[in-house]
Structure 1
C-alpha cells in the first residue's frame, strides 16, 4: 500500500492550533470531506466519534489513528494533522497526541480496513519517522516525508 493512495497534499496540515480531541476530529473530518469522499464532514465526524466511543485510537507516543466506516463512501481516504501542541486523546500511555492520521473507509471494506490500519500502525511505530514529522516546518515537507516513508517501506518489503 502506498500512503499517497489515501492522502493528498491538501489533506495534510502542519502545526494546527486546535486544542481538543473534538476539534481534531472536526478538522480531519473537514479535510476528508474536501477530498472527494462523497460524504459530508458531519457524517464523517459522527463516524469517527462513534469509533472513539468504543475505545480511544490514541496509540501512544503522541500518535492517534482515528478511523471510521461510512456507507456510500467510494474509497478509503485519509488526512494527516501535526498539532502545534499535543491534546488529550485518551491514549494508552496517557500522553498528549500531536500526530493524527484519520482514516475513512467504505462500509464494505473489511480486510482492506485492517490492512490499512496495520500499515499505519507500522508506519507510526517508527520513532525516527515520527520525529522527522514533528520537525517538518510546513505542509509540503510533511506530505513529502509521509510519502517517502511509504516508498521506503515498499522497497524493503518487495
Structure 2
C-alpha cells in the first residue's frame, strides 16, 4: 500500500510559526484522531514512541508513528519553521509524515514505513513538497501521485 493512499485532504496541512517537537506531535495527533479524546490518546502514543527513539530519519524528515485504531491512517505537516527532532543527521525537521496503524497489523506498519523511507529518500520529491505554495498545493502533490509521476 503506497503511503500516500493513507492520506486525505483534511489531514494535510502547513504548521505556521515556531513550534516544538511536542507541539508538532500534538498537531499531527489532532489530524490522526477521530475526536479530541482520541487525539489525546494518539498524542500520548506518539510521545511514548518518540521517547524510545527519534523518528527523525534525516534530510529534514520525521515519521512519527503509533499503533492503534481500526484502520491505517496518516497525516502530513509541512513546518514553516524547522524543529529539532534529534534526527540521525542532525538536521531540523520541516516535513512530517505521521501515521497510526492497528496494533494487529505489524506487517502493514513495516511495509508503510518502508514505502515512506523510499518516498523521502527522493530529494526531488522532498524539494517539491518544500516548494509547494500552500496546503492546497501540498494536497495536489501528495494526493495526485506526484512522486510516482516524477520518478
User: How far is 1:150 from its partner?
Assistant: 5.3
Q: Which residue of 1 aligns with 2:2?
A: 2
CA deviation after TM superposition for structure 1 residue 39, in Å: 6.8
Greater displacement, 55-64 / 138-147: 138-147
1:144 aligns with 2:140: yes
Could you list the runs of 4 or more consecutive aligned residues of structure 1 that deviate by over 3 angstroms after TM superposition? 36-39, 149-153
Gaps of 5+ in 2: none
Cα RMSD after superposing both structures: 2.0
> What is the TM-score with the length of structure 2 in the denominator?
0.91
Give the Cα–Cα distance (whole angstroms) in 2 for the partners of residues 42 and 18 of structure 1: 21
Residue ranges of structure 1 left out of the alignment (5+ in a row): none
**Gap change, CA 1:130 and 1:115, over 3 Å in 2:** same
SS of 1:129's partner is helix
1:39 to 1:110, Cα distance in 2 relative to 1, 3 A: farther
- Cα deviation for residue 141 of structure 1 reads 1.0
Q: Which residue matches 1:63? A: 61
Residue correspondences, number: 150
Contact 1:16 1:81 in 2 (8 A): no
Match of 2:11 in 1: 11
TM-score, normalising length from structure 1? 0.87
What residue is the counterpart of 2:94 in the other structure? 98
C-alpha deviations, 1:47-94, integer Å up to 9, x for none?
111111111000011000000112xx1101011000001001011111
